[in-house]
């Protein structure tokens, strides 16, 4: 969803929860609220439409984001702007080689006046946590984030302390430096729902950046509350998923493990390790949030296709042969996404399909397809993903 900026902000919807005991909004109201949030962020951030949309998608589905770009492309500003727009607390942790785990999660301090230990909570106890240049700290410090990212809690002195909700970790890393850098291990990268790569702005966008920031930099205002964010998260979980779309997401992940089964035997020598089941779950979770942002109550293959690069790119481990041949992850993903067939969806006409009006998959027949196989005989409306998009 990349709506054209408008001068009139969408008004807060008057329709609240659907019932007294429900905390979910209908998709049209949810889409309007997210559009208002996105528009407020665009008052500060110029361009980077895909990155902003993916950050909001991760927020709505409760995932964490790994931002990668060269310095100066507003990664920190984007995270801080999102926190201001939703009225959440924001904490920035500058990762350095001398950082300790206690500097991140907190520790126990002995008070001589009371002769007991008190717990000092660390900076991770905020709604939005920016782990700036996370790859500059050693593995011991990086692993301090694992529990709080997965369990939304920290254990200090044998007692659990829950972080405020909603909770989102945005980690940044610089891809151009190698000295004094500790690359994230594969297991830790897998904990991030998305890896968003930010590129340089277009010339017209850079002129707008200079114009905005050269005089009085704009600042975001709160347009939505934390309680509404939690309602939107609950609404995203209600998005309907057709089984065929779920199988399409799983097939994308399977293709990274056994590409020869999908007509891509040449990729077998380039992929050392494919994506984990977390990728399959992430495709559906992120796809649901994106579908809700686009005003739909059902998930389509296009939604899964659109979030697939961010879900999969940090979960693939390439072989030495791929590195020797100068083949990167973006090239491999482009081949996977343009090869794995997606089900072609058509509108349901009351023929026993989903009650919420979601489209039904059309299963066609192609040469060599197994009888009754809904995948090798499915058409696709997906477009090849371009790496520099």
Please report where in the chains the tokens 């190698």 appear, as a residue: 178
Stated as kind and residue range, the H or E segment containing 318 is strand 317-318
Sequence-ordered list of residues with C-beta below 8 angstroms from that of 39, at least 6 positions apart, any chain:
3, 5, 6, 9, 10
Render pLDDT for 81-107 as a digit per residue (tens, 0 to 9). Answer: 999 999 889 999 988 888 888 888 888
Q: What integer pLDDT is reported at residue 254 of this predicted model?
A: 92
Mean pLDDT of 214-241: 87
Question: Among the listed ranges 41-50, 114-123, 163-172, which one has the minimum average pLDDT value?
Answer: 114-123
- What's the pLDDT tens digit per position in 269-283? 899 888 889 999 999
Determine what percent of the chain is predicted with pLDDT higher than 70: 81
Q: For position 357, what pLDDT does the model report?
A: 55
DSSP per position, 335-384: HHHHHS--PEEE---SSS--TT---EEEB---TTPPTT-TTTTB---PPP
Indicate if the pLDDT at residue 252 is higher than 90: yes
Dihedral pair phi/psi, residue 362, rounded to 5°: -100, 125
Task: Give me the mean pLDDT over the 216-225 stretch.
Answer: 85
Query: Residue 96: its pLDDT value, please?
Result: 84
Confidence at residue 179, expressed as pLDDT on a 0 to 100 scale:
61
Mean pLDDT on 110-127: 83
Residue 286 clears pLDDT 60, i.e. is over it: yes
pLDDT of residue 143: 78
Asked if residue 72 has pLDDT above 90, the reply is no
Six token digits for residue 355: 């009650």
Could you give the CA distance from residue 115 to residue 94 in angstroms, rounded to a whole number? 33
Q: What percent of the chain has pLDDT over 90?
A: 20
- Between β-strands 128-132 and 168-173, what pairing exists: parallel, antiparallel or unpaired? parallel
Highest CATH level, class, for 239-362? mainly alpha
5 φψ region: left (φ > 0), alpha (ψ -120 to 50), beta (else): beta
The residues spanned by each domain of the chain are: 27-216, 239-362
pLDDT at 311: 93
Q: 118 vs 248, which has greater pLDDT? A: 248
Name the superfamily (CATH) of residues 27-216. P-loop containing nucleotide triphosphate hydrolases (3.40.50.300)
pLDDT average, residue stretch 238-244? 90
φ, ψ for residue 59, nearest 5 deg = -65, -40
* pLDDT on residue 327: 87
CB 270 within 8 A of CB 291: no
> For 296-322, what is the mean pLDDT?
90
Task: For 340-365, write each residue's pLDDT tens digit.
Answer: 888 876 555 444 445 555 555 543 33
Query: Does the model's pTM come out above 0.85?
Result: no
User: Could you report the per-residue pLDDT of 310-319, keeping only the tens digit for each?
Assistant: 999 999 888 8
């Amino acid at each position: 969803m990349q709506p054209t900026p408008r001068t009139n902000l969408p008004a807060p919807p008057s329709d609240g929860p659907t019932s007294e005991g429900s905390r979910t909004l209908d998709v049209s109201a949810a889409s309007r609220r997210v559009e208002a949030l996105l528009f407020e962020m665009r008052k500060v951030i110029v361009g980077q439409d895909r990155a902003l949309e993916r950050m909001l998608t991760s927020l709505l589905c409760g995932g964490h984001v790994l931002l990668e770009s060269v310095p100066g492309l507003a990664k920190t500003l984007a995270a801080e702007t999102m926190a201001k727009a939703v009225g959440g607390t924001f904490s920035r942790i500058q990762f350095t080689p001398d950082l300790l785990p206690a500097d991140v999660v907190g520790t126990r301090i002995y008070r001589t006046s009371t002769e007991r230990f008190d717990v000092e909570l660390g900076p991770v106890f905020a709604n939005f946590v920016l782990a700036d240049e996370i790859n500059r700290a050693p593995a011991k410090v990086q692993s301090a984030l694992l529990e709080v990212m997965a369990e939304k809690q920290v254990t200090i002195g044998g007692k659990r302390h829950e972080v405020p909700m909603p909770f989102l970790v945005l980690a940044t890393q610089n891809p151009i430096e190698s000295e004094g850098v500790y690359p994230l291990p594969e297991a830790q990268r897998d904990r991030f729902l998305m890896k968003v790569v930010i590129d340089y702005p277009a010339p017209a966008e850079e002129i707008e950046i200079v114009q905005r920031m050269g005089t009085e930099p704009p600042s975001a205002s709160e347009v939505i509350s934390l309680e509404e964010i939690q309602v939107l998260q609950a609404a995203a979980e209600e998005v309907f998923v057709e089984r065929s779309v779920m199988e399409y997401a799983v097939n994308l992940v399977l293709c990274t493990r056994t590409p020869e089964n999908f007509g891509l035997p040449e990729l077998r020598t380039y992929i050392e390790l494919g994506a984990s089941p977390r990728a399959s779950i992430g495709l559906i979770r992120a796809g649901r949030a994106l579908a809700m942002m686009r005003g739909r109550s059902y998930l389509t293959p296009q939604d899964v296709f659109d979030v697939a690069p961010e879900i999969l790119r940090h979960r693939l481990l390439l072989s030495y042969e791929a590195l020797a041949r100068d083949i990167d992850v973006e090239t491999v993903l482009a081949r996977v996404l343009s090869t794995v067939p997606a089900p072609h969806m058509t509108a349901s006409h009351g023929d026993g399909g989903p009650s919420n009006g979601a489209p039904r998959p059309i299963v066609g027949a192609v040469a060599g397809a197994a009888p009754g196989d809904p995948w090798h005989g499915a058409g696709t409306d997906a477009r090849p993903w371009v790496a520099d998009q």
